[in-house]
Amino acid sequence: MTKDKINFYDDTKHFYEDFWIGRDYEHFSEVLALRKLLNKKHFKTAMDFGGGYGRLSDVLSDYSDKVILVDPSSKQLNIAKDKFKNQDNIEYLLLDKKDYVPAKDNTVDLLLMVRVSHHVPDPTKLFKEIYRAVTPNGYAIIEVASNAHLVNRLRQYSKLKRVSKTPIRVGSVANGLKDETPFVNHNPNTIIKQLNDCGFKFEKKLSVSNFRNGFLKTHFRLDQLLRAEKITQKHLAKINFGPSIFILVKK
């Protein structure tokens, strides 16, 4: 990472962990998706790339002998080290370069990248790096903050437009560091093509957090929403329904 600019996630005024307060539905929807994609698989080495404070690292550790948690934010890694201080199967690596995976060729059996692609406007170099690091027959799971979700498609159709195939810059960062930490939404079809172009074979995708809606979240219990989520993730992926798409590819 560029040392001259503050990583948003290292900023002392920003607490990524707090973002998850009140977002149990989204968190457990992602855990459901991960477990579905990893079902019956087991890996020697799994990497949680851009894993932050390790929100999903312990899920990964259920499916692997060793988890390598990689992140450019030392603040996030320190929180993770404290959180997992009694777990000896998690390693921590500070990422100090962009578009780089800190691993030798063909050594990572599974690479997980969740909520990171929205900080990478052009992921093509990073995907080539991921391909290099993943073992032959190994896997990558790439989560995409999607600009092609149904609500956005309807919004675009109402203006007689189509959703963009290229990344769309979204929102702003509360602490004013938005130029240093870009936020973009990607078109999942473009991401799948970019992964294919690197050599990955598409295996599966799931549509995640399909019922992320204030009205639904206040009128239905968490377990009800998660039951609906569980049933629909696979089917709704066919139409890129939800705001987040989990893509499983194989090398």
Ligand X SMILES: C[S@@+](CC[C@H](N)C(=O)[O-])C[C@H]1O[C@@H](n2cnc3c(N)ncnc32)[C@H](O)[C@@H]1O
Which residues of the chain form contacts with ligand X (CB under 6 A)?
7, 9, 16, 50-52, 55-56, 71-73, 76, 95, 98, 114-116, 119-120
Nearer CB in complex with ligand X: 34/192: 34
| Comparison of 128 and 220: residue with beta carbon closer to ligand X | 128
Q: What is the 3-state secondary structure (H, E, C) of 18-71?
A: HHCCCCHHHHHHHHHHHHHHHCCCCEEEEEEECCCCCCCHHHHHCCEEEEEEEE
Q: Which residues contact 100 (CB under 8 A, 6 or more apart)?
A: 129
Query: Closest Cα partner for 96 from 68, 76, 70, 123?
Result: 70
Task: State the nearest-atom distance from the C-beta of 126 to ligand X, in Å.
Answer: 7
CB of 70 to ligand X, least distance (A): 7
Question: Which H or E run contains 233?
Answer: helix 222-237
Q: Which is nearer to ligand X, 119 or 212 (CB)?
A: 119
For ligand X, give the closer residue by CB, 90 or 153: 90
- Strands 244-250, 43-49: pairing kind: unpaired
| Minimum CB distance to ligand X smaller for 56 or for 103 | 56
CB of 113 to ligand X, least distance (A): 7
Closest CB 154 distance from ligand X, rounded Å: 26
Q: How far apart are CA 8 and CA 178, in angstroms?
A: 8
Q: Which of 245, 250, 249 is nearest to 118 (CA)?
A: 245
Residue carrying structure tokens 């509360």 = 174
Smallest separation (angstroms) from ligand X to the CB of 88: 21
